[in-house]
Amino acid sequence: MFENLPELVNADPAIVRWGRGMNETFMVEVGDDQYLCTVSDGKLAVATGPFVMRSWSFAIRAKAQCWEKFWQNPPAPGWHDLFALLRRGDVKFEGDQRVLMAYLMYVKLVLARPRKA
């Protein structure tokens, strides 16, 4: 899913607009797979791990099965949003939550983008 995520996100001007001003790196963990997402003024670049001692602002971690259900189109009730997954206990947020909350809509749109692919 993450291999073509930059193409999907960067081609969508609405998502890029939500990320304008964001210049951060965050990690998304899909099971044992790690992805570093670097955002530069709304444009996304993704590097595939595993990583040792790489810097990131915040991390979003969940099991692969959780992400598969999250990325279904349409997702089932309770699997539609990051905070629904958090409430279920299926996702963990780590790191600087202020950055995540400052760009929450952008992060949500980026992570939901594979549903339309």
Q: What is the CATH number of the domain that holds 75?
A: 3.30.1050.10
Task: Please give the full DSSP string across the chain, using - where no structure is assigned.
Answer: -GGGHHHHHHT-HHHHHHTTT-EEEEEEEETTEEEEEEEETTEEEEEE---SS---SEEEEE-HHHHHHHTSSSPPTTSSSHHHHHHHT-EEEEE-HHHHHHTHHHHHHHHHGGGG-
Q: Is the pLDDT of residue 2 over 90?
A: no
Q: Which residues constitute the domain of residue 10?
A: 2-116
Tally the domains of the chain: 1
* Predicted pLDDT at 76: 86
d(CA 113, CA 117) in angstroms, rounded, equals 7
Reference 54, options 89, 99, 95; nearest CA is 95
**The two structure tokens encoding residue 85:** 């997954």
Q: What is the mean pLDDT of residues 57-64?
A: 94
* Predicted pLDDT at 78: 85
51: pLDDT confidence band, cut at 50, 70 and 90?
confident
* Predicted pLDDT at 100: 93
